[in-house]
């Protein structure tokens, strides 16, 4: 008589610190981040709800932490618990879907637009990247790099963040006065010179950045 095999018990799901996840989500929505210790954030990392940047740490060694799309989706799915946690005002991250739907359904007031002849534009000013940029492009010296670990949501960060690197290059580019070119879309655009250049590559082991055995993308300032 054949012996019936019993499937191994599934590993218990990590306990989710909802209050911590909400706080990180609020910082992320403000285009910033929250410093959290590796121990406190471990269950959220395991669940794929947050991502940490080992290149940005505070004096205590806590790392800059942001929510992922998966983490925001978890909060949206648990909006009742978030509302109970925060009281009458729902957490922005959890209420995003409701707010978006409400905004879309509300008719917008017609804008009173006035046309002015011969208006002189003010001189363009370059203020540089925001001090709250998500990744530390502005802090890199030539030859320095930082690491973005792969997640379940973004298993190939070298592709997912390629446009982020392109945008960073553009922030540090200066237009050459009086020179234009035609881009691949047939548009005439200014010729620019890069004051800083960055490259992104796949890295199979992030040990040098505090992620031993973890694959991801490394971004380096090359000029």
Last residue of a domain, one of 103, 132, 149: 103
Contact call for residues 34 and 55 (beta carbons, < 8 A)? no
pLDDT tens for 30-75 read: 778 888 888 888 888 888 888 888 878 777 778 888 898 888 888 8
Question: What is the model's pTM?
Answer: 0.41
Local confidence band at 77 (pLDDT 50, 70, 90 cut-offs): confident
Average pLDDT over residues 108-122: 69
The pLDDT, as a whole number, for residue 104 is 42
Q: Give the chain's mean pLDDT.
A: 78
Exposed/middle/buried for residue 79 (C-beta within 10 Å: 0-12, 13-18, 19+):
middle
Last residue of a domain, one of 52, 80, 103: 103
Do 149 and 219 lie in a common domain? yes
Nearest one of 193, 162, 200 to 177, comparing CA atoms: 193
How many Cβ atoms are within 10 Å of 207's Cβ, its own excluded? Answer: 11
Total count of domains within the chain: 2
**Alpha-carbon gap, residue 45 to 82, rounded angstroms:** 19
Who has greater pLDDT, 5 or 57?
Answer: 57
Who has greater pLDDT, 17 or 84?
Answer: 17
Do 81 and 158 lie in a common domain? no
**Alpha-carbon gap, residue 35 to 56, rounded angstroms:** 9
Domain coverage including residue 197: 140-223
pLDDT tens for 172-199 read: 888 888 888 887 778 887 888 888 899 9
Residue at 65 is within a domain: yes
Local confidence band at 221 (pLDDT 50, 70, 90 cut-offs): very high
Last residue of a domain, one of 74, 103, 132: 103
Residue at 178 is within a domain: yes
Residue at 128 is within a domain: no
According to DSSP, the residues that pair with 220 across neighbouring strands are: 145, 199
Do 155 and 217 lie in a common domain? yes
User: Residue 7: is its pLDDT beyond 50?
Assistant: yes
Which run of H or E residues covers position 55?
strand 50-57
Do 81 and 146 lie in a common domain? no
Residues in the chain: 223
């Amino acid at each position: 008589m054949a012996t019936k095999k019993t499937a191994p018990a599934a590993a218990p799901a990590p306990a989710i610190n909802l209050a911590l996840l909400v706080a990180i989500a609020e910082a992320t929505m403000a285009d910033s981040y929250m410093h959290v210790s590796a121990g406190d954030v471990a269950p959220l990392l395991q669940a794929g709800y947050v991502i940490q940047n080992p290149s940005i740490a505070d004096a205590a060694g806590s790392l800059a932490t942001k929510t992922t799309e998966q983490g925001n989706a978890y909060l949206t799915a648990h909006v009742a618990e978030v509302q109970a946690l925060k009281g009458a005002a729902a957490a922005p991250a959890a209420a995003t879907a409701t707010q978006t739907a409400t905004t879309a359904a509300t008719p917008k007031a017609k804008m009173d637009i006035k046309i002015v002849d011969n208006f002189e534009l003010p001189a363009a000013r370059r203020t540089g990247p925001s001090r709250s940029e998500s990744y530390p492009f502005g802090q890199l010296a030539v030859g320095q790099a930082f690491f973005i670990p792969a997640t379940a949501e973004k298993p190939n960060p070298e592709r997912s963040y390629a446009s982020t690197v392109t945008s960073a290059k553009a922030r540090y580019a200066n237009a050459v006065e009086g020179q234009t070119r035609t881009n691949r879309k047939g548009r005439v655009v200014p010729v620019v010179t890069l004051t800083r250049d960055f490259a992104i590559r796949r890295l199979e082991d992030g040990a040098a950045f505090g992620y031993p055995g973890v694959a991801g993308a490394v971004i380096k300032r090359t000029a």
